[in-house]
Amino acid sequence: MMKPRRLKGHKNTVTCSISSQTRPGIIATSGEISCSSKSTFLAAADDSGDIKIIDIRQHCLYKTLRSEHTSICSSVQFLPWRPWEAITGGLDAKLVMWDFSKGRPCKIMDFGLPEMESRSSGGQCFNPAFIHAIAIPEVDMLDRSGKVCAVARGDGVVDVIDIEAELASLKSKSSTKSGKVPLSRSGNINASASTTPLDQKKGRRIHFDSSLGGHTSAVSCVSFSSFGERGRYIISGGNDASVKVWDWSKSMDAGENNRSDLLCQDIKLSKKVNWLCTTPSDSENLVVCDTSKVVKVYTVT
Which amino acid does the sequence have at 282? D
Domain range for residue 237?
111-267
Q: What is the pLDDT, as a whole number, of residue 195?
A: 32
Q: What is the pLDDT, as a whole number, of residue 196?
A: 33
Residue 38: inside a domain: no
Residue 74: inside a domain: no
Quote the number of domains for the chain.
1
Task: Name beta bridge partners: 183.
Answer: 189
Q: Which of 297, 149, 301, 289 is nearest to 229 (CA)?
A: 301
Residue 232: inside a domain: yes
Q: What is the pLDDT, as a whole number, of residue 169?
A: 81
Residue 236: inside a domain: yes
Using CB atoms within 10 Å of the CB of residue 85, give its burial: 0 to 12 exposed, 13 to 18 middle, 19+ buried: middle
Residue 197: inside a domain: yes
Q: State which residues of the chain have pLDDT below 70.
A: 1-2, 4-7, 9-32, 115-126, 172-204, 252-259
Residue 167: inside a domain: yes
* Beta carbons of 92 and 51 less than 8 angstroms apart: no
Q: What is the pLDDT, as a whole number, of residue 120?
A: 54
| 169: region left, alpha or beta (phi > 0 left; psi from -120 to 50 alpha) | alpha
Residue 104: inside a domain: no
Residue 186: inside a domain: yes
Q: What is the pLDDT, as a whole number, of residue 257?
A: 44
